[in-house]
Structure 1
Amino acid sequence: MLESLIIKNYALIDDLNLKFTPGLTIVTGETGAGKSIMLDALSLLLGERAETKAISDKSRKSVIEATFSSPSPELSKLLTDNGIEWNSAELIARREISASGRSRAFVNDTPVTLPVLSSITSNLIDIHSQHSNMVLSQSSSHLSIIDSFAGDAELLGRYRREFSEYVALRSKIKRIKEQIAKNKENREFIVFQLEQLDKLKPRKGELRQVEQEFDMLSDSDQIREDLGYAYNCFESGDRSINALLAEATESILKVNLDIFGDKVEEELAERLENLRIELKDITETVYDYLERVDSDPGRLAKVTARMNQIYDAIKRFKVMDEDGLVALHAELRGKLDSIDNGDGDLEEMEKQARTLAKDLKTLALELTGIRQEASVRLSELITETARPLGLQNLRFSVALTQGKLTADGQDTADFICSFNKNHEMQSMGKVASGGELARLMLSLKSIMAKCMNLPTVIFDEVDTGVSGEIADKMGDMMRRMGREMQVLAITHLPQVASKGDSHFKVYKTDNETRTVSHVRMLDKEERIRELAAMLSGKTINDAALLNARTLLKNVGKEQK
């Protein structure tokens, strides 16, 4: 259950620290006093979006913190799975919002994402806001109510996972079919391009080789002349470089060089020999290049033609180089193969889709069976629970209809009812008044809270649209709910407020700079005066005080 709530720097609330007790807790206060602010703050702990405009003092952050007792075994597993430390005594959820809009969430001081925070706190508390009655009148919400009552979350989760897989597969099949159709339209052009590239036979690195050979062949005469002259300098005649080096070496070695120092002759002889070997190697290399230069006009023509073919193809196919031509060649072959042989992969995917569809249908039928059984039980319980609230002639049923498969199965649900004898049952949204919706919602909440094992339920003016005896009976129902779970009820009706085990009053005051909301727990006498004010208005008379005491006394008698 909700043990405590701390709210700091949020809207009209400056610093609030409330302690809660089991049973039915009543919250009252004038319109605009700040009751809804408490719920808005609690909603942040359920994962609702935070707005910076709710921060009253922009110099400090806003903090909302709730302490809950005794997490259930299911929740304990969820905490463990998310790496959150906990003990069996309590759980603390906290949300912090900075003036810059940054929001952080914590569970037991462990940072968590909003989805994780929501998944945890939604197992601890349920808030029935003022617009929930209208949601009940919308058939789009009815199937989820049936599922919650049926407890089919595991089966529904399995169905939704397979449905998501099926939708993704069908989408992929559609894209492939569209691509195949598009490719078939382009097949003739692809074949034409392939024929050109097949004829060209591009190879990686070929263009550089061709360009080098072209440069050599186109300047072969000049190259031969220059290399020939160089070779002659190195090798031909008595005055060649090699011959002169030999003569110079012979003359140097005639001298006793050791007179210039130890090992001078040996070292110089070694250097001269290395020079001779290097010059000989250079000479042979130049000769090799000279031999490779071929002045062949026919070969030059072929190389020029090949080079131009590659240049033309690069330009025509809009690629960067010959490597791009090679890659395009492979890509086009793949496309053609996909066009001509792609139906095999598509056929396999179609087979998978048919298998998935069959499995989905089986799961959907299983869901339908569970929902039909749950619909009968829920209809009986709502009728039984709501009749004491002044709906003696209520007839309630769930119309389940089957159609095409969706993310929720094959079913759609519509709550149909009649509130008067001999009246045809119709969709709830068409026939239910505001007061009738309020009573049906309270009945539904009392049923759902039990089956979902919710420890805390909060009602925000669930009694809207009713008064007098009906309000008294709705208060009795909330009080009975409080014996099995913690119930917090915000109300403007004294009949409901008198049923509480504890009673908070929300009020606001003005200081020099701003209006501030406060909340305090009322003692017995304060509670009598609050009920009297609710009965008579601002001017509290003796009759109102007597009526207030009578209301509380009657509740005490019922308790005994």
Structure 2
Amino acid sequence: MLSNLSIENYALIDSLDVSLDSGFTVITGETGAGKSILLGGLSLILGKRADLSTLRDKEKKCIIEADFIIKDYSLRPFFEENDLDYEDQTVIRREILPSGKSRAFINDTPVTLDVLSQLGDRLIDVHSQHQTMRLTENDFQMKLIDALANNKEQLKTYSQLLKAHSKTQKGLQDLLSFQAEATKEQDYNNFLLTELEAAPLKEGVLEELEEQYQQLNNVELIMEELSKGDQLMNDDQIGLISLVTELRSVLSKLNGFGSQYADIYTRIQSVFIELDDINSELQTFQDGVEVNPSLLEEVSAKLQLLYNLQKKHGVSEISELIAIKNALSDKAFETAHVDEKIAIKTRELQELESALEEQALIIREKRNTAIPDLKKQLEQQLSLLGMPNASFKIVVNALDTYKYNGMDDLSFLFTANTGSDYGLLKKVASGGELSRIMLVIKSVMAKYEKLPTIMFDEIDTGVSGEISNRMADIMKEMSQQMQVFSITHLPQVASKGNHHFKVFKFDEGEGTKTNMRKLNNDERVVELAQMLGGKDVSDSALAHARQLLN
């Protein structure tokens, strides 16, 4: 319920702060006093877009804040889904800055207008005559029947099944699309895969082949240079081995004459060992090098194959070719087994459809059971509201399609007069009739499910006398299950409120302001008397007012 509302710098409101209670609250005031301004400010809390022109002082920001007690509304999942801090007493704040920018907060966490609007729909239902067209919507009518039918758990189960059905159906469609695409590309993909599998694909293979190609392609030059190297190493006169051997022999004679000679001998000995090792490797290289045209041709062909594959697939690394080969291999495997997967998914879908249809049948049967009771309640209540011949014809029609709320369509027909044809509400009911029908429907729904705070904005316009009394009684009865507000011009309605607020205008300085305050019992008597007889309050009007209150 709405426990507190504060408004600053909005339209004619300079500063307003009111505490509100449960039960039935009435709001009265002269025409033009600012009741619509109050609703306008409240609508910003509910997610309506802001208008810079509503700022009273264009240099200051507008702040509207509302406190709600929500512990009975089962809203914790909504807060978790939107990453908001849940509090039993939740504070919603809206700010409109002089720059025109708007900000919204739920428990001091910034939120989008969409999130604010979703929460607002769960907290307050603002109902005015022009909003009665919701009554003509099929979804709203079905919601009414489901409330009486106690279909909450069945609809929850149905919704879970429908979600699984949608997911499974999408999975099946994806498999069928994959199958169609794979079949169309199968031959070409198999050709690509075979081509890649025939290539020597492994990490580093390109570098190895390029090195091997360079050696085979330059074998004569390599042989010539290795021969020169061998001659430089082993020539009897000037060969490095002979010269270093002779040098080592000379230094060995000095080896015993001091550590410095011993060190130099050790170093030349190391040089000799290294040269001897190099000489052995050169000999091995010479023995291993040979002209091999067939191997050169083979290596060249492998290189050309890899170069062509890189160009064909638009890649520059062997690792990328390997990745493409693996992907094609996986796709070939998937293609080979897709029929089996389609069969499994099809069976899953059929099982879900059977479960959905079974659940939809339960929902339909409970709806059909609830309709006579709904029809009776609506017609009885409307009879008391001056529509004694009001009659409904409500029929649930089975569908072959899955809707979000079952597999039914609804024919919700109405006539206000005996002997007249039944027709759709939006075509045969007047605005005043729709208002009374909506009031009755809301009162019926309040018995069966937890509704949010409801605010009736002059729903009693155009009625008087005993009908207005009955409308007030209905709203007061509703207030036993929920918080109810009624903005009214009728003293019969105003007198039934548990709490009474008056909206009024006053001049201050060079401007006009709007405010609202709670009336005590004596003030209520005066207010009702003025609503009965005008500004000049007579004794009879006061007596009538006291009688209404009592």
TM-score tier, shorter chain, comes to 0.7 to 0.9
Please list the CA deviations of residues 481-536 of structure 1 after superposition, one character each: whole Å capped at 9, or x if unmatched. Answer: 34554321112334423333332222345667976432222345654554466557
1:346 pairs with one of 339, 342, 354 = 342
1:104 paired residue number: 105
Contact in 1 for aligned 2:33/2:514 (Cα 8 Å): yes
Secondary structure at the aligned position of 1:185 is classed as helix
TM-score, length-normalised on structure 1? 0.83
- In the TM superposition, what is the alpha-carbon distance from 1:219 to its structure 2 partner? 1.4
Q: Point out the more displaced range, 119-128 or 310-319.
A: 119-128
1:408 to 405, 408, 423: 405
Distance change in 2, residues 1:415/1:246 (3 Å): same
Q: Which residue of 1 aligns with 2:155?
A: 156
Cα distance in 2 for partners of 1:402, 1:342 equals 36
2-structure distance, mates of 1:272, 1:98: 92
Structure 1 residue identity aligned to 2:432 = G
Letter in 1 for 2:170: S
- Contact 1:375–1:397, Cα closer than 8 Å, also in 2: no
Q: Distance in 1 between matches of 2:251 and 2:33?
A: 116
Q: Structure 2: how far apart are the matches of 1:84 and 1:188? A: 57
The Cα shift of 1:304 comes to 1.9
CA contact (8 A) 2:45 2:94 kept: no
1:504 to 480, 501, 504: 501
The answer as to whether partners of 1:127 and 1:459 remain within 8 angstroms in 2 is: yes
Q: Please, which moves more after superposition, 404-413 or 9-18?
A: 9-18
Q: Is the 8 A contact 2:104 2:110 kept in 1?
A: no
**1:427 partnered with 2:424:** yes
Out of 294, 302, 314, the residue aligned to residue 310 of structure 2 is 314
1:425 CA displacement: 2.8
The residue type paired with residue 299 of structure 1 is L
The CA RMSD over aligned residues, in Å, is: 3.7
Give 1:112 deviation, angstroms.
8.2
Does the C-alpha gap of structure 1 residues 63 and 236 become closer, same or farther in structure 2, counting only changes over 3 Å? farther
Deviation at 1:19, TM superposition (A): 1.7
Q: Which residue of 2 aligns with 1:556?
A: 549
**1:201: how far off?**
5.8
Secondary structure at the counterpart of residue 475 of structure 1? helix
Distance 1:335 1:419 in 2: 67
Partner of residue 17, structure 1 = 17
2:376 aligned counterpart, secondary structure: helix
Q: Per the alignment, do residues 381 and 290 of structure 1 end up closer, same or farther by CA in structure 2, a change over 3 Å counting? A: farther
Where does 1:223-262 land on structure 2 (aligned, <5 Å)?
A: 223-255=222-254
Aligned partners of 1:289, 1:514: CA distance in 2, in Å? 107
Q: Kindly tell me: are residues 472 and 317 of structure 1, through their superposed partners in 2, closer, same or farther at Cα, counting changes over 3 Å?
A: same
Aligned to 1:457: 454
Q: Deviations over 1:184-219 (max 9, x none)?
A: 233343344445445556455433322221111111
Q: Does 1:214 align with 2:213?
A: yes
Q: What SS is found at the alignment partner of 1:190?
A: helix
SS in structure 2 at match of 1:392: coil
Q: CA deviation at 1:265?
A: 4.5
Residue matched to 2:371: 375
**1:31 Cα deviation from its structure 2 partner:** 5.3
Change (3 A) 1:389 1:248: same
Amino acid at match of 1:364: A
Residue in 2 that maps onto 1:177: 176
C-alpha distance in structure 2 between counterparts of 1:352 and 1:58, whole Å: 63
Post-superposition offset of 1:5: 1.9
Q: How many angstroms apart in 1 are the aligned matches of 2:240 and 2:15?
A: 102
Change (3 A) 1:188 1:349: same
**Which residue is 1:8 aligned to?**
8
Letter in 1 for 2:15: D
Q: 1:166 to 1:304 in 2, by over 3 A?
A: same
In the alignment, residue 172 of structure 1 is paired with which amino acid? G
Cα separation, partners in 2 of 1:73 and 1:327, compared to 1, 3 Å: closer
Corresponding residue for residue 466 of structure 1: 463
Moved more, 441-450 or 346-355: 441-450
Three-state SS of the structure 2 residue aligned to 1:186 is helix
Cα distance, 1:162–1:85 mapped onto 2, change above 3 Å: closer
What one-letter code is carried by the residue in structure 2 that aligns with 1:497? A
Runs of 5+ unmatched residues, structure 2: none
- Pair 1:127–1:222, CA change in 2 (3 A): same
490 and 408 in structure 1: CA distance in 2 versus 1, 3 angstrom threshold: same
Match of 1:309, SS?
A: helix
Write the letter of the residue equivalent to 1:506: V
Cα distance change, pair 227–97 in 1 and its aligned pair in 2 (3 A): farther
Distance 2:11 2:317 in 1: 66
Assess, with a 3 A threshold, how the Cα gap between structure 1 residues 12 and 288 changes in structure 2: closer, same or farther.
Answer: farther
Count of paired positions? 543
2-side partners of 1:199 and 1:286: how far apart? 37
Q: Between 111-120 and 202-211, report the one with greater CA deviation.
A: 111-120
The one-letter amino acid of 1:449's match is: A
C-alpha separation in 2, matches of 1:467 and 1:141: 28
Separation of aligned partners in 1, 2:331 and 2:357: 36
State the TM-score, normalized to the length of structure 2.
Answer: 0.84
Paired with 1:395 and 1:61, the residues of 2 have a C-alpha distance of 48
SS of residue paired to 2:358:
helix
1:438 to 432, 435, 441: 435
Q: Secondary structure at the match of 2:394?
A: strand
**How far does residue 10 in structure 1 lie from its aligned partner after superposition?**
4.5
1:393 aligned to which of 365, 389, 395 = 389
Deviation at 1:431, TM superposition (A): 1.5
Does structure 2 retain, via aligned residues, the 8 Å contact 1:438–1:464? Answer: no
What is the aligned counterpart of 1:447 among 444, 448, 463?
444
Match of 1:365 in 2: 361
Residues 105 and 114 in structure 1, CA contact (< 8 A), matched pair in contact too: no
Q: Distance in 1 between matches of 2:10 and 2:272?
A: 94
Q: Structure 1: which 5+ runs fail to align?
A: none
Aligned to 1:91: 89
Cα distance, 1:115 vs structure 2: 8.5
- Change over 3 Å in CA distance of 1:213–1:426 after alignment to 2: same
Query: Which secondary structure state, in structure 1, belongs to the residue aligned with residue 459 of structure 2?
Result: coil
Once residues 483 and 270 of structure 1 are traced to their aligned partners in structure 2, the CA distance between those partners, rounded to angstroms, is: 110
What are the residue-to-residue correspondences of 1:260-299 with 2, within 5 Å?
263-299=259-295
Shift of 1:315: 2.4
Confirm or deny: 8 A CA contact 1:257 1:265 kept in the other structure.
yes
**1:65 and 2:58 matched:** no
